[in-house]
Amino acid sequence: DDLRSLVRSQRSAPAAARMLSPMEQYEAFCAAAGGRCVVRRILIANNGMAARKFILSIRNWLFQSFGDDSLVKLFAMATPEDIKANAMHINSADAFFEVPGGPNFNNYANVNVICRLAVSHKVDAVWPGWGHASENPALPRSLADLGIVFIGPSDNSMFLLGDKIASTIIAQSAEVPCVEWSGSGINVAPDKDGRVSVPDDVFSKACVSSAEEAVAVAAKVGYPIMIKASEGGGGKGVRMAQSAEQVEPMYRQVVEEVKGSPVFLMRLCTGARHIEVQIIADEHRNVAILSGRDCSMQRRFQKIVEEGPPRAVGPQALREMELAAARLALMVGYTCAGTVEYLFIAETQQFYFLELNPRLQVEHPVTEGITGTNLPALQLMVAMGLELPKLSDEHSVSKYLVDPAQPGPFVDPFSKVDGHVVAVRLTAENAADGWKPTVGMITEASFQSAPSAWGYFSVRPPAEVHSFADSQFGHVFAHGKTRLAAIRAAIRAVSQVRIVGEIHTNIAYVSELLSMSDFANGFVTTAWLDALISQRMQLKPPSLEAIAICGALLKSHLFIEDLKTKLHKDYLWRNACPPPESIGSLVETKVDFIWNQVHFQFEVYRHSPELFTISANGSLAQAKLKASPGGTFMCAFGDVTSTFHYEKEPGDKIRMMLGGFPVILENEKDPSRLDAPYGGKLTQFLVSDGAHVNKGDAYAEMEVMKMLFALPAPEAGTVAILRPAGAFVEAGEALGRLPPAG
């Protein structure tokens, strides 16, 4: 009332005295929209991309709306690993609070740590982001007990619709189509107020609690079947089994990846697309449906490319999806942002409920790009009690408000959005080697933005992607008036990303995916990318001539630089004369390497610092090699100029990034070594010391970036274990030896 009186008095005051301070404008805005509190201090209980995006969004909203981006103080959590990695959320927050390192249960997923920080630093609210503790009902429940605002749904609605098992029970009770699963036929009825709950005994009927039970339920539901942890997400805690023999080991992997989570089984809906509907709901039972997204391009159930709106869905089917999402939200009193996910069959326009994520999604900027909204800012507004219908037009939500009880005349949902957006996740994964996660330093990360494209990173070089981090370190978005225009803008945008460092990235691979006709024609389903990977889809490499010449010159350059260092250390610093053969090696070198199972051998003659002649099998080629600042090389031969940079890798390998294509230059391998392909935790050996394995048999299992990977034996032989289970190992470190069989 006092704030409303202040606004009225300002309106009646002389023009020179009417100007409110930014803080007064912020407070008046909250009061006018029915807010019950004003948040001034927020703890960000997250890291990486989530924390970075929240800071960008909130500060942008504050400045655009009130002219001061510092009205709300934003505080970050920081582990030793993130501090060492030069994570951008730490640098861009108003202040950061150090928390224990290691796995996320020590820090970002630890409810006690979060609450203790919130109390000790007197914050008004906590934002959970995605992943970590964002779907743990204990966090909003604990914060409510402390009188601290949680920028998300209540603990009850988070459990009911955030838990994949409870939400599916509720969805089928509301007659939302669901695929066959371990809880089929289980229903709950709403109470006198129209709300529902899922009692423990009903919930447990839909779960499987042992590998034996999983095998039995799978036989009933049918194959192929998904084994899923209800608390999993982001590709973690989910496996697909094609037969009964695969169920038991995959059930164990799911249980290990998401410890303590209930597990359920659901039949795989083949040929389906992954369609999402974005909701934002307030505590006054107002729901806005902000169109949808198509997230079908996935590998191992981890999204790679997202786009919106979902053009494969017809207007009528999309409207039905939206109304169903609103009914679910209202049934449990859901508030804040959430995403209702469906499996969609384009040929029949049928959809099936998959889950509701009770949090913001990584890909939410797709929705922002087509609706003009700021979702983190809307989350904050809803958490302060603001009513969606009372927000000014600049927040772009009024036309998206729906009442499923009175939907009104049909309006084409596509008519409400602006153009099309395609988003690409940038990840530290080796797409050429089964999308294995990689860790290491990033020395350069740059992106050339354009009017139709923008992006952001979670790190600022020199930076590091560490073993406890998420593999995603960047996100690129492209907008176009049409889907085709957005795709072309995305292809161009990805080509403007430059990453230099020890990590591998998916950039070259995803650029190829965006250019494929299947994607342009809208034929991508959730199984499409995994099928390409299983067929060992290969990127089109540079010419063999470019690989050979650039590889030979790089190997020669590295040899000469190492030799110069050695000669200076051993001779020149004490005015001694090096042996003639060493001096001769500075101008004539023999190099060899293996690429793509082809063995290359060359003699390289150096005529000047930049001019070389390369000899192989009696043929000669002249080329120039020029080193540029930042570790980039330009190689000119004939009328072709190639640009590349390189990184040394474990196992005496060199990764030469030639025109964006990763060329791995290898030496002869020792087939008896069982090396760790990447850094992480050696969770267990799958065979005993001295056991015989065949080529391709899994002999051990590693955990990298919270995901489990089986390690195949490169040859047949008898395993000799060198490292204990539970050890943290570096990439290239010997885990064991494999003396040849026989």
What pLDDT is attached to residue 680? 84
Helix (H) or strand (E) holding 663: strand 661-665
Q: Enter the CATH code of domain 33-151.
A: 3.40.50.20
Q: What CATH number does the domain located at 420-534 have? A: 3.30.470.20
Residue 392: the pLDDT is 80
Backbone angles phi, psi at 82, to 5 degrees: -70, -35
Domain 544-665, CATH: 3.30.700
Paired residues of 712 in beta bridges: 698
Residues 344-364 have a mean pLDDT of: 94
Question: Distance between CA 278 and CA 339 in Å, rounded?
Answer: 5
Element (H, E) at 711: strand 707-712
Range of weakest confidence among 73-87, 215-229, 455-469, 526-540: 526-540
Residue type at 652?
A: D
* 90-95: Cβ within 8 A, 24+ apart: 91/460, 92/52, 92/55, 92/56, 93/44, 93/51, 93/55, 94/70
- Contact call for residues 569 and 579 (beta carbons, < 8 A): no
pLDDT of residue 10: 47
Mean pLDDT of 355-373: 95
**Beta-carbon neighbour count of residue 559 at 10 Å?**
16
**46-50, 92-96, 370-374, 727-731: least confident range:** 727-731
Predicted pLDDT of residue 511: 92
Task: Collect all residues with Cβ–Cβ distance below 8 Å to 132 and sequence separation of at least 6.
Answer: 45, 46, 47, 104, 108, 109
Compute the distance between CA of residue 265 and CA of residue 283 in angstroms, rounded to an integer: 33
What CATH architecture applies to the domain 673-737? Beta Barrel (2.40)
How do residues 570-613 score in pLDDT, each as one tens digit? 776 777 777 777 777 788 999 999 998 889 999 999 999 999 99
Judged by DSSP in three states, 308 sits in strand
Q: What percent of the chain has pLDDT over 90?
A: 68
pLDDT for residue 310 is more than 70: yes
Q: Are strands 125-127 and 149-150 parallel, antiparallel or unpaired?
A: parallel
| Structural tokens at position 663 | 């060329």
Q: What pLDDT, on the 0 to 100 scale, is given for residue 13? A: 45
pLDDT tens-digit map of 159-173: 888 788 998 999 998
**Per-residue pLDDT at 234:** 65
Q: Find the mean pLDDT for residues 532-553.
A: 86
CA distance 303 to 299: 7
Are 274 and 346 spatial neighbours (Cβ–Cβ below 8 Å)?
no
**Average pLDDT of the residues of the chain:** 90
Residues 462-498 have pLDDT tens digits of 999 988 888 899 999 999 999 999 999 999 999 999 9
In this prediction, residue 655 carries a pLDDT of 92
Q: Is 260 left (phi over 0), alpha (psi -120 to 50) or beta?
A: left
Residue 16, pLDDT score = 44
Measuring CA to CA, which residue among 247, 186, 236 is closest to residue 214?
247
358 pLDDT band, cuts 50/70/90, is very high
**End-to-end Cα, the chain, rounded Å:** 88
What's the mean pLDDT in 437-456?
90
Q: Is the peptide bond before 462 cis (omega within 30 degrees of 0)?
A: yes
At position 2, the amino acid (one-letter code) is D
Strands 640-649 and 717-718: unpaired
What is the H or E stretch that residue 564 is in?
helix 544-570
Model confidence at 15, in pLDDT bands (50, 70, 90)? Answer: very low
Tell me, what's the pLDDT at 179? Answer: 93
Per-residue pLDDT, 586? 84
Give the range among 217-226, 546-555, 703-712 with minimum mean pLDDT: 703-712
Residue 54 three-state SS: helix
Q: Please tell me the pTM assigned to this model.
A: 0.79
Phi-psi region of 255 (alpha: psi -120 to 50; beta: other; left: phi over 0): alpha
Mean pLDDT to the nearest integer, 643-649: 89
Domain ranges of the chain: 33-151, 420-534, 544-665, 673-737
Share of the chain above pLDDT 70, in %: 96
Q: What pLDDT does 7 receive?
A: 46
How far is it, in rounded angstroms, from Cα 80 to Cα 709?
26
